[in-house]
Structures are given as C-alpha cells and as structure tokens.
Amino acid sequence: MYIDKIWITGASGRLGSTLYRHLNPLDMEILATDKNIVDITNSKQVNKYVERNRPDIIINCSGLTKRNYCETHEDEAFLLNGLGARNIAVAARRVKAVLVHLSTEEVFDGTNLIPYREIDEPNPISVYGKSKNYGEKFVREFVPGHFIIRPSRLYSRENHFVEDIIEQAKKNKEVVVPKNQFFSPTSAIELTRFLLFLMNTSEYGTYHASCTGVCSRKEFAEEILKLTGIEAEIKEIEGDSQADFRPQYLALENYILNLTKEFEFLDWKKALSDYIDMEVKNAKK
C-alpha cells in the first residue's frame, strides 16, 4: 500500500505525541492534530478535515484515559472514547482511509490467570474500559479497512512510566508499586515498529500488540533498577489511588501474530533494555 499522508488524532496526548515523534522522520506527510484543531466529538469538524486533507491512514490516539476521572465523568468518557471513534470511523470510510484505532487491554475484566487473547470476549469493569470497548464496536461497524490495536501498559519518554521509577529510586532509595498487578509492559518503540509493519499490509482486524512475557509491577521495577545499576528497595502496597479502577491482571498474548508468524514483538526484558539504552541513557547526554 502506498502511503502519502497520515493523520494522527490526539497528537498532543502522551500516546499521540509518542507516535508522532517516532513516525515524523519518515518520508510521508504527517498531520498531527489535537482538540484545538479538530474536535473529534464534532462530526462536522471531523468530516470537513478529512475531506480537505484526505489522509491515506488515520491513527486515532484520541481518548480520555484518566481512570478515576472517567468514573466520575461517564458522559465525557463515552463521548470522546466512543462517539469520537464513531465520527472518525465514518469519515475514514467516506474517503477510503485505513483506520488504526488505539484501544486498551482494559476492555477485559482482569480476572484471568493467563494472558488475554484476541478471541477472548471483552468484559470491561471500568467506565474507561467500557467506553473504549464501545469505540471498538463503532470501528468494526463502519470501517472495513481497520486495525484495532490493544497494547498492554505502554511506556515511553512522554508518559514517564519508566523514568518515574528511576526518579523514585534515586530520590528516595525506595520504589513504591501496587501489589498483585500483572501486565505485559510494552515499549512505544516496539509498538511503532509494529504499526509501520501493519500499515503496509491489508491484514485488517483486532490485534494484541504487546511485548512478550508477563511480569508484576515489582518485577518490572526490579528489572529497571538492574539495567540502570540503581540500588533501592521496592515496596509493594495494597492500594494505589492512580489504579483504583484498573483491573489487576492485564497481560496480553499476541495470539493472532503468533498464529500468522508475520511479526514478532521483543521479549519485555529485551525491549526494556533497548528502551533504556535509547531513551533514558541518551537523554542524559
């Protein structure tokens, strides 16, 4: 597929800005917008922008992601994560653009004891998860050429997930993490590598897109300290106000990719090592 123009929605957000930074050096035009330029909850604005610019690919990174906020602002969550996705899907179909829709592992309830596969039925328990699942349904309904992407706990320079652990360890000689939370931590570098592969195919559908393997939040912090050579105590706590509405088990298996064997994500430890070498250590220079 020849790609001349990509539109990234939500480009000022953490995920959107990460993808824009990694995709921008490519030999194609990148259109990056936020709600001040195109409000995706306004169908007229979305259609007007798409008609005027006619992107080949739309990457929808827009979304309300703060879990606690979503719980107390349900209408806002469903408007942006659900109806916003519908507006983009309808516009994409009109101009025959391929839609890459970034979703979440939180469409699952977190009660599994093994990683979730694409064939598992979503059962979100939070407003955030429910609203993202609602958006997925619109994408499937309105856009034949779509990719729905579910990463597991993405980390990047923009969201500071790794950097915050390093800062805690240096400042306090202690890192506090939630207990009994399991995931498949995924580097934004790896996600971008996968999206570049996928956008040049017609292998449409829903994909789990995570680094391979499963770890606890404690194991993730331990590996960061090991790779950076920082000595600190890791303390697990029962509660975490930032994760009150986050399911406990959110590890994913890239089941479709494992079946087709067309793309392979790095193991989470290798991806983390590469990320620290490229993003953390280089940032100090």
Which residues have a catalytic role annotated? Answer: 128
Encoded tokens for 225: 């300290």
Secondary structure E strands in the chain? 5-9, 29-33, 57-60, 98-102, 146-150, 154-155, 174-178, 182-183, 186-187, 205-208, 215-216, 233-237, 249-250
Contact 126, 246 (CB under 8 A): yes
Residue 24 CA to residue 232 CA, distance in Å, equals: 37
Residue 110 CA to residue 29 CA, distance in Å, equals: 39
Taken in order 272, 275, 280, 281, is the CA torsion positive or negative? Answer: positive
Query: From the centroid of its chain, how far is CA 48?
Result: 27
